[in-house]
A = this chain, B = another copy of it.
Amino acid sequence: MKTINIALLGCGTVGGGVAQILLQLNHELNSRANANLVLKKIVDLYPQNACQRFNIPLDLFCGGGKNLSSHEAGSFIQEIIKSDDIDIIIETIGGDNDFVLNIALDTLKANKHFITANKALLAKYGKKIFDTAGDNKSLIGFEASVCGAIPIIKTIKESFTGDEIMSISGIFNGTSNYILTNMQKEGLEFKDALKAAQKNGYAESDPSLDINGGDAANKLIILIKLAFGIDLTIDKLFRKGIEDINKDDLDFAQEMNLTLKLICFAEKKEDEIYALVCPMMVKENNFLSKVNNATNAVQIINKYSGRHLLVGAGAGSLETASAIVSDIIFTTRYHASNFNKMKSSTVKLIDSQNFIFPYCIIFETEDVPGITGVITTAIGNQRINIDTVGHNRHNKEKAIFPIITMPCSMKQINAAIQEIKKIRPDIIINDPKIFPILN
């Protein structure tokens, strides 16, 4: 049986989990890989911490277990990349800076396989990294980069190959889903739900990337590359977070049998695609409306096989680590094959103003007679059909009410809002909130 030597760069929450599984399940993993998998070297700035937390022998760490300066760690990493004795390098350092980018590129150029959970790096430099892998016949494993334990990468790469992916939607960020679930269940306002999430370990002290949709957007960018072959960057993506969702929004949703979720969505329309990350109202019969707390879910609609749903843990130490270990097995099994292609295509991104959905628009206006007439007339003037005008909460002398439209574009809605503002500049208190509705 051949031997595959593995180096692990970074031994924090995810890396430590990888080391733990590799050591605990060693016998079983060797049999699955048909190879001796040897965790040969670990580089981490604070080996003692990692060693205690994950029960890893100290002598696996470069430097013999003493703390390393960044400079020392960098040297050890360069040594590993140059070594003939390492086959697979696992990067669990994180971040999208040049230091980590160069680790990826140098590893691939050295004809070693590169496995990572780093969604920010792949979303930012995916094209460069995938192209380098292709040029050097090295493999990249990135199952752990999208929705942690959910095996969506291999499902798209290896299982949906007999079909054509038409759309991807899902809940890709556990923190924001936990917050929205808690707001709904406990009737909390956003800031209190955020505090509760932080207290319960579901949100970090700086939660910005989770709540502004940035983290979810990175994952969507990776899946769009995989499914549709398009290289997007985060600035091109229509993106909104959950920071200004309030209790009223959730209540309106519930009244209309809808559930408000932070949704990632991409859909192919002939040679163009929609792509957005934003709070959407999800219809009751869509499974995504039932995915609560920190759980993640991905829904794929295929041309031939229809609707698929994958649900699972989107984060966590051992959860994410298990996905990385599955990449080690896959790479070991199949690296000898000559298949190493990343899809690429000329499909174009559609401007978000042209996204067609049914929309839920929540108006906040002066509570005076005649408002509904003005607003619905303006909407009608844009040739938008109205599905429902929801119950008006006369709240603190304001009128707050939702209008659900039939499918139309964001551009039509914005034109209607401009018209309302022009005719009655006095009545609109805040810009209406606009939520696409997911079927």
A322 and B334 in contact, given A159-B155, A290-B290 (Cβ under 8 angstroms): no
- Mark out the residues of chain A between 282 and 340 whose CB falls within 8 Å of any chain B CB in the assembled complex: 287, 290, 302, 304-313, 316, 318-319, 321-330, 333-334, 336-339
Distance in Å: Cβ of A137 to nearest Cβ of chain B: 13
Chain B contacts for A34, CB-based, 8 A: 338-339, 341
Q: A305-B322, A308-B311, A313-B306 are in contact. Are A151 and B143 (CB under 8 A)?
A: no
- Taking the complex as formed, is A163 at the interface, i.e. its CB lies under 8 A from any CB of chain B? yes
Q: Given A336-B337, A337-B333, A337-B337, do A162 and B322 touch, yes or no (CB 8 Å)?
A: yes
Say if the beta carbon of A362 comes within 8 Å of chain B.
no
- Measured CB to CB, the nearest residue on chain B to A152 is B159
Which of B322, B338, B339, B341 meets A163, CB within 8 Å?
B322
A197 at the interface (CB under 8 A from B): no
Q: Is there a chain B Cβ closer than 8 Å to A28's Cβ? A: yes
Q: Interface digits, A151-162 against B, CB 8 Å rule (1 contact, 0 not)?
A: 100110011111
Chain B nearest CB: distance from A217 CB in Å? 24
**Residues of chain B with a CB closer than 8 A to A341's CB:** 31-32, 34
Most buried by B among A32, A148, A328: A32
Contact B308 A321 (CB under 8 A): no
Contacts of A149 in B (CB 8 A): 302, 304-306, 308
Identify which of A25, A159, A160, A321 gathers the most chain B CB atoms within 10 Å of its CB. A159
Q: Is A164 at the interface (CB under 8 A from chain B)? A: yes
- The smallest C-beta distance from A323 to any residue of chain B, in angstroms, reads 6
Contact call A334/B326, Cβ cutoff below 8 A:
no
Given A154-B158, A308-B150, A338 and B336 contact (CB-CB distance below 8 Å): yes
Known: A160-B151, A337-B334. A305 touches B323 (CB 8 A): yes
User: Are B305 and A318 closer than 8 Å at their CB atoms?
Assistant: yes
Q: Can you give 19 A-B contacts (C-beta < 8 A)? A: A17-B304, A29-B161, A31-B343, A149-B302, A149-B304, A151-B155, A155-B155, A160-B326, A161-B330, A162-B323, A162-B325, A163-B322, A290-B290, A305-B312, A305-B316, A305-B319, A306-B312, A310-B310, A310-B311
Interface residues of A (CB under 8 A from B): 17, 21, 25, 28-29, 31-34, 143, 148-151, 154-155, 158-164, 287, 290, 302, 304-313, 316, 318-319, 321-330, 333-334, 336-339, 341, 343
